[in-house]
């Protein structure tokens, strides 16, 4: 039985996943697991897509690379997808959204995204692709949607997630008694 929860922070590129994860890791002591970093460092990919400027992730290799650690708990998983992680590993799925397409466009443009990659990500956000994926992959009660487009959003979102973590810890320590 885990003593610390596992949380996925997911969403379209540019919504603020990594900023949320870094702040939460600093404030809660949970470990920030950047899937992009694992993919690069442990070579959990099938090569690099030059057009989209991203690795082609080998999901089986990725799961093999993290399966000894993540099920034990205490991780904040940072990635733009969530459906590959087993339900038994995950306690909360937070889908970060940026409904303002002009804000998201500006963020992605600043990263130098190609027009094709920019449009694909805007379409994914508009059509709630990652929110739908989360809702289809996990139980409804563990999927939370939070917006991140204004200055105070990250702070309030992190406070909300921290409160959830505290409640999770309390309920899981009581169930052991």
Please give the DSSP secondary-structure letter assigned to residue 117: H
- Select from 3.40.50.300, 3.10.20.30, 3.40.220.10, 3.40.605.10 the CATH code of 7-161: 3.40.50.300
Contact indicator for 108, 59 with CB cutoff of 8 Å: no
Model pTM score: 0.95
17 is in an annotated binding site: yes
Q: Which residues pair with 55 in a beta bridge?
A: 48
**Positions of E strands within the chain:** 7-10, 31-34, 45-49, 54-57, 75-78, 92-97, 143-147
Express the helix, strand and coil content of the chain in percent, nearest 5 each. Answer: 50, 20, 30
Q: What is the reported pLDDT for 26? A: 98
Q: What is the reported pLDDT for 51? A: 86
14 is in an annotated binding site: yes
Q: What is the reported pLDDT for 151? A: 83
What is the distance between the alpha carbons of residues 94 and 82, in angstroms, rounded to a whole number? 10
| Cβ neighbour number for residue 127 with a 10 Å cutoff | 10
| Cβ neighbour number for residue 41 with a 10 Å cutoff | 10
Q: What is the reported pLDDT for 53? A: 86
Q: What is the pLDDT along the chain (177 residues), one digit of tens a residue?
A: 899 999 999 999 999 999 999 999 999 999 999 999 999 999 999 999 998 889 999 999 999 999 999 999 999 999 999 999 999 999 999 999 999 999 999 999 999 999 999 999 999 999 999 999 999 999 999 999 999 999 899 999 999 999 999 999 999 987 655
* Helices (H), ranges, 29-144: 35-41, 59-66, 101-110, 115-126, 129-137
């Amino acid at each position: 039985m885990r003593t610390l929860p596992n949380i996925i922070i997911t969403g379209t590129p540019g919504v603020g996943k990594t900023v949320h994860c870094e702040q939460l890791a600093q404030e809660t002591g949970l470990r920030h697991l950047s899937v992009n970093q694992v993919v690069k460092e442990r070579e959990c990919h099938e090569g690099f897509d030059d057009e989209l400027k991203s690795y082609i992730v080998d999901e089986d290799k990725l799961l093999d690379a993290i399966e000894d650690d993540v099920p034990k708990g205490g991780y904040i998983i940072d990635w733009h997808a969530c459906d590959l992680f087993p339900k038994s590993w995950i306690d909360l799925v937070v889908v970060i959204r940026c409904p303002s397409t002009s804000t998201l466009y500006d963020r992605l443009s600043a990263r130098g995204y190609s027009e094709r990659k920019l449009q694909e990500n805007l379409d994914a956000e508009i059509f709630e692709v990652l929110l739908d994926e989360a809702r289809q992959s996990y139980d409804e009660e563990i999927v939370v949607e939070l917006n991140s487009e204004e200055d105070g959003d990250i702070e309030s979102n992190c406070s909300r997630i921290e409160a959830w973590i505290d409640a999770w810890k309390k309920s899981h320590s009581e169930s052991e008694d």
